[in-house]
Amino acid sequence: MTTLQKISVVAVAYVLSLASAWVIPPIGRLAPIPWSAGSELTVGGAHGEGTIRLSTRSDGVPRVTLTAPGAGRPSISMAAGDKDGSHVRLFAPNGQPGISLEVDSDQRPRIVVHDPGDGRVRWSVTMDDQGRPVVVEAP
């Protein structure tokens, strides 16, 4: 490739990048993306399809809700955040927590199993200072 051809390629790329910066924003105004301005996005839901809903809880924590095909209510949902320490929680269909994966203040992993009926902690497992598992059962 000659020097003139290289300069031509760079010039065309530069002009196209300037043109795209001028043309693309109006396209977004003509055909807005439905989820761009909202706080919730739902994928699926047609006849015979399940759904995946991405949303944000009132405390700012992101949440994913999965609904099986034909189910009238969510099958499971998951939230992750760090307001109470880093955690990921899986929720039962009734909205109560089922399993929590957490990182405590000492940076140790902790798995917590909740009663899906009332959300109370049934047992948890973490590690001691030597790295051995410590299981704590709730009364």
Q: What is the mean pLDDT of the chain?
A: 72
Give per-residue pLDDT as tens, 98-115: 888 887 777 788 888 888
The predicted pLDDT at position 35 comes to 40
In CATH terms, 40-137 corresponds, of 3.30.70, 3.40.30, 2.40.128, 2.60.120, to 2.40.128
**Percentage with pLDDT > 70 across the chain:** 67
Q: Count CB atoms within 10 A of the CB of residue 26.
A: 9
Span 20-49, pLDDT tens digits: 554 445 544 544 434 433 466 777 777 777
Consecutive H or E run containing 84: none
Domain ranges of the chain: 1-32, 40-137
